[in-house]
């Protein structure tokens, strides 16, 4: 299958083994930066519209509620990661549309089972405790699964920028629903949960509509159970070792949020959770801008459609995330020094650079984790993430009485993880045959 990205040269002969058999041109660094900038501009518009409504909501609810909101979002983040059992990576790596169709059907089958189990647990919780949060959680997980599917297909076909445009309606709807719920008298936690669900349902619809041809083609084709079962078995390391590696990385990203509700200072806990939520916007923007472009470059290499990317592209996530959060931290310091921000924001602006340090490491690591997974570095990835997460948890426990200092140390651990991955990933070129080569 030829790449839909016209800037990536196609091999003169690809035997299907994943090896390049003809003279190929490397993907120019400037071309990569251009693609990343295009996606980043769309994400910037999306996040600006979403963030405006979110900041307006700050005036309508107490800051303490954000520690509970952060915990809920952290749980959904972990759920969204495991919902496909990591089989969605096969969609990106598929050599042809038949393999892509099988990968889509396998991913949908796995997600249906996991969401179904989650819904049953939610119904049981509602029956025994009267709380509907479990049911809403299952619905939100379902929406995230379809959003992830649409964006994964867009990444495979080099249409991520088109999918970004399809997400614009949700950036208006989610904060609008949040403000309307708060104004109508609903409690803040319920308002955030329901607005998150509404926003992701709209986002999932937009992403899947933008990729409707591939989605409908894959789901309308007859399910060949033997082929799908064989595909699942051949890539059984994805829902086991690779999922454990990815889950440990995601757990590292949300670890501080699990400690915040236990802090004695409720205002500090809420402020930190709010900052994590706000700075998650530029973090996701940075990783979502870089990740799909680099994923496609590596995927095309593994399929024999492009030569190996320049080694220095593995440093791009670190430089982009570091530059973005440095600017944000400097801006916060200037606002605090000039006293031109509301007095209530003084504490938030003072500790913002601490959270920015941590989020910079998260933003830079996300694309590198996907690249390592695409290249089959599952055991090394899991070892690195489990080690970093374990050290971070031990740090947060040891300095639980000094949460700001503990988050600084966790941020340094995260940046060290990124540096190790940036230096280690270029060796992935030895694995040109993909997962089975490790």
Calculate the dihedral angle through the C-alpha atoms of 202, 206, 211, 212, rounding to the nearest 10 degrees: 70
Cα–Cα dist 387/392, whole Å? 9
Residue 404 belongs to a domain:
yes
Residue 54 belongs to a domain:
no
CB 52 within 8 A of CB 175: yes
Give me 173's structure tokens.
């709807």
Residue 258 belongs to a domain:
yes
Question: What is the chain's Cα-based Rg?
Answer: 22
pLDDT of residue 408: 94
**Lookup result for tokens 């867009």:** 154
Give me 272's structure tokens.
């930190």
CB 266 within 8 A of CB 397: no
Element of type H or E holding 128: helix 97-129
402 DSSP assignment: S
Residue 101 belongs to a domain:
no
pLDDT tens for the chain, residues 1 to 438 = 333 333 322 222 233 333 333 333 444 555 655 655 665 565 565 656 555 666 666 666 776 777 778 788 888 888 888 899 888 888 887 888 888 888 999 999 999 999 999 999 999 999 998 888 899 999 999 999 998 898 888 878 777 666 666 777 777 788 888 888 888 888 888 888 998 899 889 988 988 888 888 888 888 878 788 888 988 898 887 888 878 877 888 888 888 888 888 888 888 888 888 888 778 777 776 776 677 677 766 666 656 555 555 566 777 788 888 888 888 888 888 887 877 656 557 788 889 999 999 999 998 888 888 777 766 677 888 888 889 999 999 999 999 888 999 999 999 999 999 988 888 877 655 433 443 334
Query: Number of folded domains in the chain?
Result: 1
CA-based torsion, 331, 335, 336, 337: positive or negative = positive
Give me 42's structure tokens.
């769309």
Q: 211, exposed or middle or buried, with CB in 10 Å at 0-12, 13-18, 19+?
A: buried
Residue 36 belongs to a domain:
no
CB 10 within 8 A of CB 21: no
Residue 85 backbone class (left: φ over 0; alpha: ψ -120 to 50; beta: rest): left
User: In 260-377, which residue ranges form alpha helices assigned H by DSSP?
Assistant: 266-302, 316-338, 346-374
pLDDT of residue 212: 84
CB 299 within 8 A of CB 156: yes
Residue 416 belongs to a domain:
yes
Residue 273 belongs to a domain:
yes
Cα–Cα dist 297/308, whole Å? 8
pLDDT of residue 324: 81
Cα–Cα dist 169/205, whole Å? 10
Cα–Cα dist 277/290, whole Å? 20
Q: What is the pTM of this model?
A: 0.70
Residue 347 belongs to a domain:
yes
Calculate the dihedral angle through the C-alpha atoms of 428, 429, 434, 438, rounding to the nearest 10 degrees: -50
Range of the domain at 386: 236-438
């Amino acid at each position: 299958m030829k790449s839909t990205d016209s800037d990536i040269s196609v091999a003169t002969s690809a035997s299907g083994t994943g090896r390049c058999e003809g003279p190929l041109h490397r993907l120019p660094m400037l071309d990569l930066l251009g693609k990343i900038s295009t996606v980043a501009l769309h994400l910037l518009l999306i996040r600006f519209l979403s963030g405006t409504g979110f900041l307006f909501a700050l005036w309508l609810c107490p800051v303490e509620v954000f520690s509970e909101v952060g915990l809920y979002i952290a749980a959904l983040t972990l759920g969204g990661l495991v919902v496909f059992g990591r089989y969605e990576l096969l969609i990106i790596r598929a050599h042809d549309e038949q393999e892509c169709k099988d990968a889509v059907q396998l991913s949908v089958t796995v997600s249906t089972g996991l969401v179904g189990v989650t819904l049953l647990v939610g119904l049981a919780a509602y029956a025994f405790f009267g709380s509907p949060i479990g049911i809403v959680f299952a619905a939100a997980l379902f929406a995230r699964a379809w959003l992830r599917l649409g964006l994964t297909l867009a990444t495979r076909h080099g249409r991520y920028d088109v999918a970004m445009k399809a997400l614009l309606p949700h950036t208006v709807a989610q904060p609008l629903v949040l403000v309307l719920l708060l104004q109508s008298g609903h409690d803040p936690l319920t308002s955030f949960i329901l607005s998150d669900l509404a926003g992701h349902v709209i986002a999932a619809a937009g992403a899947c509509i933008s990729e409707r041809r591939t989605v409908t083609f894959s789901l309308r084709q007859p399910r060949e159970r033997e082929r799908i079962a064989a595909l699942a078995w051949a890539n059984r390391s994805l829902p086991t070792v690779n999922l454990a590696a990815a889950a440990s990385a995601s757990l590292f990203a949300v670890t501080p949020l699990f400690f915040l509700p236990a802090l004695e200072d409720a205002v500090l806990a809420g402020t930190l959770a709010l900052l994590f939520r706000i700075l998650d916007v530029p973090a996701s923007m940075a990783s979502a801008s870089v990740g799909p472009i680099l994923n496609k470059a590596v995927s095309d290499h593994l399929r024999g459609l492009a030569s190996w990317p320049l080694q220095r592209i593995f440093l791009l996530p670190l430089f982009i995330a570091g530059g973005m959060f440095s600017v944000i931290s400097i801006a916060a310091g200037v606002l605090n020094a000039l006293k031109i921000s509301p007095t209530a924001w003084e504490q938030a602006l003072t500790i913002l650079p601490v959270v920015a340090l941590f989020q910079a490491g998260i933003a830079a690591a996300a694309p590198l984790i996907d690249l390592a997974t695409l290249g089959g570095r599952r055991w090394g990835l899991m070892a690195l993430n489990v080690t970093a997460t374990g050290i971070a948890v031990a740090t947060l426990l040891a300095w639980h009485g000094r949460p700001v200092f503990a988050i600084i140390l966790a941020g340094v651990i995260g940046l060290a993880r990124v540096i190790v991955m940036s230096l280690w990933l270029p060796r992935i070129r030895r694995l040109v045959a993909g997962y089975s080569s490790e």
